[in-house]
Every structure is written in structure tokens, then in C-alpha cells.
Amino acid sequence: MTRPIPQHRIQTACLLALTAIAVAAALFWMRAVVVPFVYALFLAITLTPIVHTMTRVTRIPHVVSVIIALIAVFVVVAVLGGFISVSITQFARNVGAYQRQFQTLVNDIAERLPLAQFGIDPERDIDFFSILPAGTVEGVLRSLTGTIASLLSKGLLVMLFALFILLGNKGTGKRSTGALGEIEKHIKRYITTKVVLSGITGALVYATLELLGVQFAITFGAFAFLLNFIPNIGSIVATVLPLPIVLLSPELSQTAKILAILIPATIQFSIGSVLEPKIMGMSLDLHPAVVLLSLIFWGILWGFEGMVLAVPITAIIRMSLERIDSTAPIAGLLAGRLDGFRDAQRPPASIRAEGNNDRPTGVPDGLCNESDGAGEGT
């Protein structure tokens, strides 16, 4: 017979659900400040060992070490953003050439297909279709320009938050202990691994496209670096992004076009699906379905920035819930383990002991019930 779920567990689940809704609403409305602060927090966790090592080795003040580390990060971000901005400007200048190439490609396809049999007028429908991408390209360029400007403006706020966080951390650089130390260790390992592997991915994609003669190779390499921070989905988007340029470049041969598609896709798959899981292991202990749902959830709340932060934030939530007895089953569910929920349906050991206090020691349940029934009958 299945025991009913205890009332206190139902109350705990309802309170957790209401709390999660309230927190999600607050995070959405305060995203303009919360998102830069979270980025600054992760940046400070990553830079803390570097700052302490620099202070200890060079004997310079802690403040100077913090400023040098943040300047280095700012220079890298500024250079990356500058390359992307210049490439977008060059792409905008060549929109007409790509438009003509696209129209030629569409006309060639229309001549080879029997479109008249399907009621399609090549002179009317195909011409309209070939002009359509011009507006799409213009919209994409405006969107990319606005996104880069937004990221740069938030970058200044991130640097400001990180400056105050690092200035307030004047410890010896020793690792924290307890729950905070475990969370810091896993998050630092995740960020370090992601930065290194994303850098390798971006460099290999750039080198491949540059050797094959693809335009804007450095831009696609930069996007491969940035999008690699988004698990699963980012690598697919980074692979698809160069396709229009590759397919519409008349100077590229058919072999070069095929290689420009296959080699970056192989690089993304090999690093993201083979190398990264072996290096990172089960450090975050999240089920793949939970990772996908977290990307959707944080993407709805915070957009692209939320998708980048989705995995480490969800991992922090899982590790925090694991420390509390009443929420430990939820942490097990995020890790893909259902044993915690099965055990949660059992009553606590103290309750089981109280229910067995009246039973004589060594007497089975059945015999005890029979003796009670006999006593009542007599």
C-alpha cells in the first residue's frame, strides 16, 4: 500500500514553487543590473587566483594587480568587438555584390527546375524571391550593431562591478572551504575549461576559413569563440553562420566551399561533444535535458547573456539545493537521479520507529496483529 505524501512535503514544494516564480520575476525586471553583476561575479572568481599570484610574485600592491588584470580583460574584449564591428561594416559595403550573386544562383536553380509545372512564374516569383534577402541582411546588420553596442555598454558596468569585488577580496588566495569552496572550485574549473576550449575552437575555425580564402574569417572565428559558451545550440549556430558567405562567394571553388562547411563542423563537434566532456567530466553534474531546459529558461529571462550563464547558474542552484535535506531530491532530479524522490516518499526513520514502539521486540507484524485481535475477542 502506497503511503500518502506527508503534508509538510507538499507545503515545502508549494513554497519552493512560489519562491521560484517570485525570484524569476525579480530577475527579469532587474536584469539590467543583475546580469552585469553576475558576469562580474564569475569574472572575479576567474581572476582572483591570477591577481593573488601577481601580487605575491611581483610584490606590487593588490590594487595595482586588480587594475592590470581588468585592463587586460578589457583590451581583449575591445579587440574582439572591434574585429566584429569592422567586419560588419565591410559586409554592409558588399551587400550589393552578395545580392547579385544570390540572384544569379536563384536564376540558375530556376532554369534547372520545372517550376512552370507547379504554377510558379519564374519572371515574377523568382525575381521577388531574389530581392528578398536584401532587407533581411539590412535587418541582421542593424540587430548585430545594436547587440554589440549593448554588450560593450554592459561590459563597462561588468568591469566596474568586478573592480569592487576584487578590491574587497584581499585574502591570501587560499581556496574557500565548505559549500562555498565546493561551488567556487567547480565554477572556476568550468569557466577555465570553457575559455580555453572556446579559444581553441575559435582559433581553429578562423585558421581553416582563412586558409580556404573565406571572407570575414576572423569574425566567424570570434563568433565561434563566443557561441561555444552556449552548450549544444551555440556550436550549431556557429557552424551555420558562415554558410551564406561561403555559398555566395564566387571566388571559392566547389571543393573549398565543401571544406569550409565540413571542417568547422567537425571542429565544433570534436571539441564540444568529445574533448570537452572528457576534460570537464561530471564536475557540474547536470542531466543533458536539464541543460537544454536551463538554456530555454535563462534565455527567456535574460536573452543571449542568460544562455551563456545558464549552465553555471543551474549548477550553483543544484549544489545549493543538495546541501538542504528537504530540497536534496530536487538536486538529484537536476542531476538525473530519481533515487532521491523514491526515498523521499518513505516516512522518516523517527516516524517509523514511533509506529513500531508498541510492537513487542522480535515479534513480526502479522503475529502482533493476530494477538491484538484475539485479545479483543476474548
Looking at the structure, tell me whether residues 62 and 131 fall in a common domain: yes
- Mean pLDDT over 295-312 rounds to 88
Task: Pick the last residue of a domain from 240, 266, 281.
Answer: 281
Number of domains the chain contains = 3
For the chain, give the mean pLDDT. Answer: 76
Asked if residue 374 is part of any domain, the answer here is: no
In the predicted structure, residue 143 carries a pLDDT above the cut 60: yes
pLDDT value for 365 = 46
- Cβ neighbors of 331 (< 8 A, separation 6 or more) are 318, 319, 321, 322, 340
pTM of model > 0.75: no
Q: Confidence class of residue 376 from pLDDT cuts 50, 70 and 90? A: very low
Looking at the structure, tell me whether residues 112 and 211 fall in a common domain: no
Task: Pick the last residue of a domain from 111, 131, 165.
Answer: 165
pLDDT: which is higher, 231 or 348: 231
Looking at the structure, tell me whether residues 93 and 191 fall in a common domain: no
Asked if residue 359 is part of any domain, the answer here is: no
Looking at the structure, tell me whether residues 158 and 50 fall in a common domain: yes
In the predicted structure, residue 31 carries a pLDDT above the cut 60: yes
Asked if residue 267 is part of any domain, the answer here is: yes
Looking at the structure, tell me whether residues 43 and 59 fall in a common domain: yes
Q: Confidence class of residue 151 from pLDDT cuts 50, 70 and 90? A: low
Looking at the structure, tell me whether residues 38 and 152 fall in a common domain: yes
Asked if residue 173 is part of any domain, the answer here is: no
Looking at the structure, tell me whether residues 212 and 223 fall in a common domain: yes
Looking at the structure, tell me whether residues 276 and 291 fall in a common domain: no
pLDDT value for 369 = 45
Asked if residue 170 is part of any domain, the answer here is: no
pLDDT value for 368 = 43
Domain span including residue 195: 180-281
Chain position carrying cell 565561434:
224
